[in-house]
Amino acid sequence: MYQLYYSPGACSLATQVILRELGQDFSLISKAEIADYSQINPVGAVPALKTGDTVVTEGAAIILYLLERHANQLLPTDAQARGRVIEALMFANASMHPAYSKLFFLAGSLEDSETKMALLSAAAQKVSALWEVVESRLEVHAYLAGEVLSPADILLAVYAAWGEFFPVRIEIGRRSKALIDSVRAMPSYRASVAAEQSKVA
């Protein structure tokens, strides 16, 4: 059985959704419950996934690890379609996630001031520009990687919730909002959110 280390609302939520989509048994362990989490992941980030003596870190790596191990429809076997899914996953993980991370950094490291608001606004504009990329993609495809749901869509649904933590506006287009809503309506997503909430309560 897998052990998934998480923080509430973090990108580990997407990993939990994928574990449920794959029908895998797992235990959910809050990073805050671990006395020395650096023994699990030296960089301190979630998610981390443990199975037996193996610990896998880095969100995208964990997702690919799981999809390679278990039969699924999230990672196609066709080389071209598979490449598009991996490209979309890397866009979410390596472009969208760091853009939101910059907002968290600015919000947590600067004193409230006009300068802080200006920097937050500039960072929010960059996030909005990435959502424009998503919106453009959805003009011709049902999902970010094509016509079927991929891990990237699940990650985007998680990231979109982070905007509420900042006093600046992030623009998310109509098609992108519809995609987010459809992912959040999935039973696996709703169960994952409920599991985190029950752990916090």
Which is nearest to 154 in space by CA: 96, 106, 196, 198?
96
User: Could you give the angle at the alpha carbon of 80 between the alpha carbons of 79 and 82, nearest 5°?
Assistant: 65
pTM of the predicted structure, to 2 decimals? 0.96
Token pair for 160? 């979109």
Domain count, the chain: 2
Task: Quote the CA–CA distance of 191 and 187 in Å, as a whole number.
Answer: 6
CB 77 within 8 A of CB 68: no
Residues 57 and 106 in one domain: no
pLDDT of the residue at 44: 96
Residues 172 and 97 in one domain: yes
pLDDT of the residue at 199: 73
Q: What CATH number did the domain enclosing 17 receive?
A: 3.40.30.10
Residues 8 and 54 in one domain: yes
pLDDT of the residue at 51: 96
pLDDT of the residue at 200: 62
Residues 14 and 68 in one domain: yes
Q: What is the pLDDT along the chain (201 residues), one digit of tens a residue?
A: 999 999 999 999 999 999 999 999 999 999 999 999 999 999 999 999 999 999 999 999 999 999 999 999 999 999 999 999 999 999 999 999 999 999 999 999 999 999 999 999 999 999 999 999 999 999 999 999 999 999 999 999 999 999 999 999 999 999 999 999 999 999 999 999 999 998 764
Residues 40 and 100 in one domain: no
CB 9 within 8 A of CB 184: no
Residues 137 and 172 in one domain: yes
Residues 15 and 99 in one domain: no
Determine the distance from the C-alpha atom of residue 14 to the mean position of all C-alpha atoms in its chain, rounded to a whole number: 5
Note down the domain range covering 179.
Answer: 79-184
43-59: pLDDT as tens digits: 999 999 999 999 999 99
Residues 13 and 93 in one domain: no
